[in-house]
Amino acid sequence: MTTQHPWIPRSRRHLWTAIVLLLVALWFAWDGWFPRASVRAEHPDPSDHFYLFNKSVAVLLSAASLVYFYIHLVTR
């Protein structure tokens, strides 16, 4: 059984935020690690900042998604 924390409101907003962040993180991960042929044509150099940016944002958004999902579980 979890307890309700007084400084975090009880709602499903945290769950929906976690889901949206996870979907956007997957999109960035797909572009960073598994780019389409059209993306590879625009950015042919594998060390291009485009790939590093997408990979970094994917990791950060995944972590943020986990934090929001944890908050959702704690405030249920």
pLDDT for the residue numbered 57: 97
pLDDT for the residue numbered 22: 97
Q: pTM for the complete prediction? A: 0.79
- How far is C-alpha 47 from the geometric centre of its chain's CA atoms? 22
HEC profile for the chain? Answer: CCCCCCCCCCCCHHHHHHHHHHHHHHHHHHHHHCCCHHHHHHCCCCCCHHHHHHHHHHHHHHHHHHHHHHHHHHCC
pLDDT for the residue numbered 8: 63
Spans of the chain below 50 pLDDT: none
pLDDT for the residue numbered 30: 94
